[in-house]
Amino acid sequence: MTVYYDQQSGTQSEQPVFFDNQTLRIPNKEIQKRNIQPSKMFLIKEELKVFAKNNPKEMLYDASQGDGGASLGGIPKEELAAALLSYLPPTGSTKYGNPIGREDVRQAIVQNYYGFSNVVPEQVIMGDGGRDLLQKWYQLVVQGVGSIGGSVIVSAAPWGSYMQGTYMNGLNTILAPGNAEQGFCLTKDGVDSAMAHAKEQGHPAVALVITSPDNPTGNYLAVEHIRSLIQHAVDKGIAYVLVDLMYQAVTDPEVGMYDVAGLLQSLSSKEQNCVFFLDGLTKSVGGSNVRSCHLVCGSIGHSSLLKGLATHSVLPNALGEAASLEVYRHESPILHPWVQKVVVPTAQSRAYLRSALPQKGFHFIMGQGYYAFINIWPWIGTRLPEGEGIIDPIDGSQTDEIKTVAHLKSYLAQKMGLAVIHGSVFRQPDFIRFSYANTPSYVQGALERLEKGLHRLR
C-alpha cells in the first residue's frame, strides 16, 4: 500500500529534527544538583511500631501529621460516594475532563466560596492537591522569567516541600530572616534582606510565597499584613506572589476565613496581575487522599498559560472535583458538615493547648491551622534514662544521648509512643511540630505523653 501521493515529497520525516527551533531549545549545561530524597516524616510510623511492640497495651499518640482524614475520621465513604455519583454524568462518566477543572466547580469557587466580582471561572485552575498546583506554578515562574537559577522567597520556618518543589523546577529557595517572637513570619524588611542576599549570590529573587495560617508554626497573618507584603514585593520587582491559604478554613470561629475577594479588589491592576491564591480540601475537610486544590490567578493571562501546563501534565481527578463541588456550592461552605467535622474539634483542641502549654512551662508558637511549634531547646544534650537507647531509623545506629531534635523525635516515638515532626525539616532545629488536628481528649493525652517523656530525660 502506498501512503504518500504521487506529487507529495514526503521528506519532512526523513531526517532527525528538533521540535523547537534553536533559540527556544533548553540549553545543555552541566549543573551539580542534589537528589530529592523521600520525606523522612513517614518513617515516624515505623518508629511508633517499636513502642507498640514493647508496650502492647499502651495507647499510641500521633501528633506528627496534619492529616485530618486520619485523625478526625475523614469524609464518610457513603457521603463521598454520593457526591461522586451526583457529580458524574449519566454517560461517559470516565471520559477526559477539562484540564483546569469542570466549569460548574470553578463557578462555585468563584461565586459561592469567594464571592468574587472581578474574577471569572477561567481564572481558576484546579489540580490534584497543593503539590500538583505548586509544581505547575513553579513551572509558570520559570517560563515567565525565562531562566532557571532564580530564587523563591519563603519564611524562616517554611513547609518542607517548598524547598523540594522549587528545586525540581530549577529554582532555589531562600529563607527570609524572621523572629521567633513574631512566629518567624515574613516581613517587608525580611523580604528586602532576602532579595539583597539572593542578588548578591547571583540567584535573584523571582517569586514570593506567603503562607497563612502557616505550616509548621500556625502563625496567622492579618489581611492587612498580607496586602502589604504583596504590594511591597511587586513594588520591588517580584512578578509572582503566591498566597498559600490551605489552612484558612481551620481557624477559630471568631477568626473565620479571609476576605480574598476584598483583598484582591484592593490591589492595583499591576499587583493583581502578579498574585495567586492557593486553597483546597486537604486540610479543611481532612481530604488528604481526595487530592483537590485550586489556584486563583489574578491575571487571566497567567491562567491561560497554566492551562497549557495542565493540559500536558496532571489533570484534575473526578473524585476531587466531586468533593469540591459538594463543599463549594453549599450555601455557606465553611458551615458544610465535612468542614465542621474538622474545624470544630480542632478549634477546641487549639483552645486547650493555648491554655495548657504555658501552664506546663512550654515556650511555643501557635496561631491558627493545625499546629503548635514547641521550643524543645532545653532538652537538647540530655540523655535517656540509664540503660535505655534509641535506634536511628536511617542507619540503624544506637545512642542514649539526645544530640539533636531528630534524636528527640526518635526517643518520643520509640520510648514514649508519641509521634511529632522534628523542626530540622523546617530549618528550625530547636523546635518540634505538634499537630492538634484531633479531639481535645486525644490532644490532652498526647501533651501529657510529651511532658512525661521530657521529664524522664537526664
pLDDT tens, the chain, 458 aa long:
888 888 888 766 778 889 999 999 988 989 899 998 887 767 888 999 999 999 999 999 999 988 889 999 999 999 999 999 999 999 999 999 999 999 999 999 999 999 999 999 999 999 999 999 999 999 999 999 999 999 999 999 999 999 999 999 999 999 999 999 999 999 999 999 999 999 999 999 999 999 999 999 999 999 999 999 999 999 999 999 999 999 999 999 999 999 999 999 999 999 999 999 999 999 999 999 999 999 999 999 999 999 999 999 999 999 999 999 999 999 999 999 999 999 999 999 999 999 999 999 999 999 999 999 999 999 999 999 999 999 998 888 999 999 999 999 999 999 999 999 999 999 999 999 999 999 999 999 999 999 999 999 99
pLDDT value at position 409?
Answer: 98
pLDDT score, position 268: 98
pLDDT for 11: 66
Q: Where in the chain is the domain with CATH 3.40.640.10?
A: 77-87+94-333
pLDDT at 66: 86
Q: Note the pLDDT of residue 7.
A: 86
Class of domain 77-87+94-333: alpha beta
Q: What is the pLDDT of residue 80?
A: 98
Give the model confidence (pLDDT) of 15-25 as tens digits.
888 999 999 99
- Check residue 318 and give its pLDDT: 98
pLDDT score of 219: 97
- Class of the domain covering 40-66+338-456: alpha beta
Residue 69 in contact with residue 287, Cβ under 8 Å?
yes
Which residues belong to CATH 3.90.1150.10 in the chain?
Answer: 40-66+338-456
